[in-house]
Amino acid sequence: MNLGSIPRRPEECSGRDLSGMVVKVQDKVRHPDCFVCTECEENLRQKGYYFIDDELYCETHTHAQAKPPESPDL
């Protein structure tokens, strides 16, 4: 990945400079150690992850955040 096109200090990573390895997800770049669940801060490397309202969640917290579709009244 060309670091020239990546913001030097992504907002997701508390303003730290990017160098070395990065994780790019949905056009946002993070340090590998900042690729964590919004709720529990579990690292999501090598695990399933989901976006809800532009936030990253682990599988457990995705189920807690996601609302099931409403069923129509019959």
pTM recorded for the entire structure: 0.64
Alpha-carbon gap, residue 25 to 30, rounded angstroms: 8
Residue 50: burial class (beta carbons within 10 Å; 0-12, 13-18, 19+) = middle
What does the block give as tokens for 19?
């160098």
The CATH number corresponding to 36-68 among 3.30.1490.190, 2.10.110.10, 2.60.120.280, 3.40.50.620 equals 2.10.110.10
Does the pLDDT value for residue 16 go beyond 80? no
Condensed to tens digits (0 to 9), the pLDDT of residues 21-71 reads 878 887 777 888 888 999 999 999 888 899 888 888 999 999 888 777 777
Does the pLDDT value for residue 10 go beyond 60? no
